[in-house]
Amino acid sequence: MIGVFDSGLGGLSVLAALVDALPQADFAYYADTAHVPYGNKSETQIQCRVLAIGDYLASHGCDLLVVACNTATAAAVQALRAAHPGIPVVGVEPGIKPAAQDSKSGRIAVLATEATARSPRLQQLIREHAGRVEVFVEPCPGWATHVEMLQLDDPALAADVRARVEPLLARGVDRIVLGCTHYSFLAPLLSEVVDGRAELVDVAAAVARQTQRLAGRLAHGSGRLQLHASAHPERLRAALPRLHLGRIAARAG
């Protein structure tokens, strides 16, 4: 079984890509809803949660783990790999590389949680892959919480999205990296604001391809999905149709 986890609903955007790439695989999805959001937590707090969830999923029979969260990957993927040396771990990191490669203006932006925005790992990614472009990192406090509350049409959120994105566009960015898995669910709102002036970069499909390469026999299961949450598991299931993921709900039986 493939274990996939996030602080909450955001990782479902990655799970959707995983299910498309590995339709016969069995998945367990864990939402850490008792501790969401991770974006305002310290590195130590996030590591502590990631290690606990890794143990939980491993003890529930997961042989491959996907950290469907940029914040958790930046803070704790190394610690998770060290704790489970026998289990392959796929992390999710902001798509700096494809954005930098494809940018024509030489300016890109990354939207991320506060914790990811200040992480040394993000700075390392920028140094490694964006040497020739200018990168604007925009922390977006509160966005993941709006997604958690399923307040996708909240006018206050729309105003904040515009207030953060317009200045980036005014600086000439032509690629905007969704550096938090929750933000995939804000893509319609972001596209409306961007209005063709830049492309949004989401790595969910690339993460799914990487997982497919590592899956081996795990690709051949019975296409089932287990849903786990550290608080209010019923809300996780109820959120699926609201996020247009009814096809995933069907797998959960």
CA angle in degrees (0–180, nearest 5) for 201-135-175: 25
How far apart are alpha carbons 169 and 14 in whole angstroms? 27
Question: Would you count residue 71 as binding ligand DGL (CB under 6 A)?
Answer: yes
Select from 3, 10, 54, 91 the one that contacts ligand DGL (CB under 6 A): 10
Question: Would you count residue 36 as binding ligand DGL (CB under 6 A)?
Answer: yes
The catalytic position among 48, 62, 140, 180 is 180
Residue with tokens 């991770």: 38
Site string for ligand DGL, 181-200 (x = CB under 6 A): xx------------------
- Strands 175-178 and 107-112, bridge-based pairing: parallel
Site string for ligand DGL, 207-246 (x = CB under 6 A): ----------------------------------------
Q: Which of 40, 249, 243, 51 is nearest to 148 (CA)?
A: 243
Question: Would you count residue 144 as binding ligand DGL (CB under 6 A)?
Answer: yes
Active-site residue 62, yes or no?
A: no
Give the binding range for ligand DGL (CB under 6 A) out of 17-25, 50-58, 67-75, 83-91: 67-75
Active-site residue 180, yes or no?
A: yes
Q: Which of 23, 112, 25 is nearest to 72 (CA)?
A: 112
H or E element in which residue 52 lies = helix 43-59
Backbone angles phi, psi at 208, to 5 degrees: -65, -40
- Contact positions vs ligand DGL (CB under 6 A): 6-7, 10, 36-39, 69-71, 113, 116, 144, 180-182
